[in-house]
Structure 1
Amino acid sequence: MSTSTTARPMTPATVWLARGRHASGAADDVLRRSLQRRKDNQDIDDFLELPDDRTGPSERVFEARWRVDGDVTVRARLSLASGDGQEWILVAEAGRPWRDAWPSPAGLFWPDGPELAWDRDATTRLAPGGINPLPRDDKETRRLLRGAVRGGWHIHVVVHEAMTTDDRGRVPLARWLPPGLRHRVVEHRAAPQQLRGLNWALRDTGVEVPRGGAVVLPGTPAPEGYDARDFSVRAVFLDGSEPADLVDAVRRFAALPRPLPDGAEDALTALREDWHLLTLREELERQRALVAMYAEALEAMTQSRDLYREAAERAHEALAALQESTAAAPPGPQPAGTPATSPLQQLTRTFERLKPRRPASPAAEAGSAGVRRVTSER
């Protein structure tokens, strides 16, 4: 399959992205309560909900900031579309390259608890962090997986059960993932009898799932450096133990350079250029930058005014010179064969005399000297 990433910009190493869908209810109220609880517990430093005049009636925007590793600041922005089944986009950026061991930004915005259906893939309606059985129909499976890998927002993993599992085998992969990946990975499970139909559904992606194994799907477009053999696990023991090889494959896949998902570029630009949750120090720096910008603009206006004043003075001088030359001209008709000179031409010539002369370039002077030498030799 083609692994072209097209011309889309790449995801910066400092950025964490997520997109989801809130199933029902007032998602903005859920976010307000959750963020206030996080602030009270000092999980985040502060948060802000932008007023309607900043966002418009069709969108709610929440900003939050916190620190990781003691001194690394994280800024995050969640935009929530209004309406039934509200979709949301979350972009977070840290002062250093992102580490999977840091807390999930989605987990800091939204509350914990499986009863709150905020964490659903916007395309497939599946839940990251849980186990999602594949449809029984092969065509439905193909349609599901083709839609799942488009856009690039989530990492999709397909696991084949070699035999029917018990409760020990129904532990989701997310339990073993670091916090920064738990809300980004969607796990699909295939029953023992579904292997053939599953690989038929995946034939367009160029990957296959080994019997009793797993594979990390490439997505569309595939990230740079993706090779199906590097992200395929031959055996996953669903006995409650950590699937170390699969966890390693997921972590390596997440570290690959990837293009920004569909719609993420605008969200990242809004985070960087339309940020409002400033500290006192940042506000002071911002005001100083504005003062410096206004000072530069004022200086440019002053220089323009001085140039206009100088041009006006030269125009007055030229006009005065024209009037003097006109007054000094002898009366009577011009001699035959002498072209008449209009006042406009005289004014233009006066301007030409007033224009500063540019020094000739060394090459031009050398050429002129050569002409003079040839003339003198003749």
Structure 2
Amino acid sequence: MQTSPATLPLTVWPARGRHVGSAAADVLRVNLQQLKDGAVVDDFLELKEEQAFEARWRVDGEVTVRARLTLRPDDEWVLVAEAEQPWKAAWASPAGMFWPLGPDADWDHDAVAGLRMRDANRLPEDDKELRRLLRDCARASWAVHLIVHEAMTPDERGLRSLTEHLPPSLRHRVVEHRAAPHQFRAVNWALKEFDVQVPRGGAVLLPPLPPGRDGEDFAVRSVFLDGTEPAELIDAVTRFASLPRPLPEGAEDALTALRERWRLTTAEEELVRQRELVAMYAEALDAMTKSRDLYREAAERANEALAAYREAGAEPPRPPAEQPGSPLQQLTRTLERFKPRRPPRDENDAD
């Protein structure tokens, strides 16, 4: 039976991209240290054996955000952040807490399309390539994809990416695609399979959408490419990004790693964890004591029965095979349940 994919929690911010430069770990390490020195992040930890970085900071003064970024051998990175409250678009982008935000940074390329998250990316002229690109983006990318049609060729101000006007948390989750004036028909032909159309001189967001949602709800009739703030487009992107949606492929594993393998603990959190371990060991010891008493009682009864057989001159019966619910198996299951799940802290980890 096929199960429905898990829904992205409202507290979680996911992103996946590609670093096209060199020494990605060095870039992360230097940037995180600078942000820690400037009290922008509370602390960070490098997990060298996992090629991962953890960081913790606060938003709105008191809401803690925990985030984990993992580097992969193919230069891809996966970042999942989780806040103590539902995520707000006005909060700082977690990507900007790990990566430098300068214009020459090499980290902000979409993992599927290879396009930059902070650029206005030109759509391919070839129709087949155009359709293949949009299909790949809709099916595999973690980003929100914005299709903008230029009613006329814009000037220098209009060539700048519209993502710079978005709320901070969305600037590194949106990939903007630009269609030239003559591509209007070709783009809508490619978008037909997604049941959405881009208005002439407007914009549309690329599905998939949750059930019951219409793509036209996220189409913008007019986008003025003159450098002014596109209020209607910002509203559409913000509403689209806040919709409940399934966790993208691979995000569930990344979220599990964040929640269950988190090692950047505060002193208070470590104290709570040690108390939990003490309680678990106490429960395990109690289970062992009870099992010992059960074995002692069973052994006494077995000895009494054996003595009775011998007195009667009968052959003692063969002992039965261990039953699934025996005290030994109960004890084994108890000890397995209380094994510590956290890996030991690496001595080479950063403080």
Q: Which moved more, 1:162-171 or 1:296-305?
A: 162-171
**1:273-332 Cα shifts (integer Å, max 9, x gaps):** 001100011111111111111111111111111001011111222233344455xxxxxx
Asked if structure 2 preserves the Cα contact closer than 8 Å seen for 1:224 and 1:258, the reply is: no
Normalised to the residue count of structure 2, the TM-score between the two structures is 0.87
Residues 257, 114 of structure 1: alpha-carbon distance in 2 compared, 3 angstrom cutoff: same
Q: Which moved more, 1:170-179 or 1:205-214?
A: 170-179
Q: Which residue of 1 aligns with 2:307?
A: 320
Once the two structures are TM-superposed, the CA of residue 235 in structure 1 deviates from its matched residue by 1.2
Asked if structure 2 preserves the Cα contact closer than 8 Å seen for 1:218 and 1:226, the reply is: no
Q: Which residue of 2 aligns with 1:77?
A: 68
- Between structure 1 and structure 2, the one with the greater Rg is 1
Q: Which residue of 2 aligns with 1:10?
A: 7
Asked if structure 1 preserves the Cα contact closer than 8 Å seen for 2:112 and 2:140, the reply is: no
Q: Secondary structure at the match of 1:128?
A: coil
Residues 239, 283 of structure 1: alpha-carbon distance in 2 compared, 3 angstrom cutoff: same
Give the % identical residues.
64
Q: Which residue of 2 aligns with 1:112?
A: 101
Once the two structures are TM-superposed, the CA of residue 171 in structure 1 deviates from its matched residue by 3.1
Asked if structure 2 preserves the Cα contact closer than 8 Å seen for 1:224 and 1:256, the reply is: no
1:244 paired residue among 231, 243, 252: 231
Distance in 1 of aligned mates of 2:152 and 2:133: 23
Once the two structures are TM-superposed, the CA of residue 81 in structure 1 deviates from its matched residue by 1.2
Once the two structures are TM-superposed, the CA of residue 152 in structure 1 deviates from its matched residue by 4.4
Q: Which amino acid in structure 2 is aligned with residue 264 of structure 1?
A: A
Distance in 2 of aligned mates of 1:195 and 1:148: 19
Asked if structure 2 preserves the Cα contact closer than 8 Å seen for 1:20 and 1:88, the reply is: yes
1:302 paired residue among 269, 275, 289: 289
Once the two structures are TM-superposed, the CA of residue 343 in structure 1 deviates from its matched residue by 4.4
Q: Which residue of 1 aligns with 2:329?
A: none
Distance in 2 of aligned mates of 1:234 and 1:69: 34
Distance in 2 of aligned mates of 1:245 and 1:6: 37
Aligned-residue RMSD, C-alpha = 1.8
Q: Secondary structure at the match of 2:55?
A: strand
1:88 paired residue among 39, 56, 77: 77
Residues 74, 214 of structure 1: alpha-carbon distance in 2 compared, 3 angstrom cutoff: same
Distance in 1 of aligned mates of 2:64 and 2:20: 31
Residues 224, 109 of structure 1: alpha-carbon distance in 2 compared, 3 angstrom cutoff: farther
Once the two structures are TM-superposed, the CA of residue 88 in structure 1 deviates from its matched residue by 0.2
Distance in 2 of aligned mates of 1:133 and 1:284: 53
Residues 111, 325 of structure 1: alpha-carbon distance in 2 compared, 3 angstrom cutoff: same
Within-5 A mapping of 1:1-378: 7-52=4-49, 55=50, 60-83=51-74, 86-219=75-208, 222-325=209-312, 342-344=314-316
Asked if structure 2 preserves the Cα contact closer than 8 Å seen for 1:225 and 1:256, the reply is: no
**1:112-163 Cα shifts (integer Å, max 9, x gaps):** 2111111000111101122011112222211111111222400001111111
Distance in 2 of aligned mates of 1:208 and 1:138: 16
Q: Which amino acid in structure 1 is aligned with residue 96 of structure 2?
A: G
Asked if structure 1 preserves the Cα contact closer than 8 Å seen for 2:309 and 2:316, the reply is: no
Q: Secondary structure at the match of 1:47?
A: strand
Once the two structures are TM-superposed, the CA of residue 168 in structure 1 deviates from its matched residue by 2.7
Asked if structure 1 preserves the Cα contact closer than 8 Å seen for 2:110 and 2:141, the reply is: no
Q: Which amino acid in structure 1 is aligned with residue 260 of structure 2?
A: E
Normalised to the residue count of structure 1, the TM-score between the two structures is 0.81
Unmatched 5+ residue regions in structure 1? Answer: 327-341, 349-378
Q: Which residue of 1 aligns with 2:339?
A: none
Q: Secondary structure at the match of 2:109?
A: coil
Q: Which residue of 2 aligns with 1:358?
A: none
Q: Which amino acid in structure 2 is aligned with residue 76 of structure 1?
A: A
Once the two structures are TM-superposed, the CA of residue 238 in structure 1 deviates from its matched residue by 1.5
Residues 130, 6 of structure 1: alpha-carbon distance in 2 compared, 3 angstrom cutoff: farther
- 4+ runs of 1 displaced by more than 6 Å? none
**1:239-285 Cα shifts (integer Å, max 9, x gaps):** 22211111111011011101011111111000000011000111111
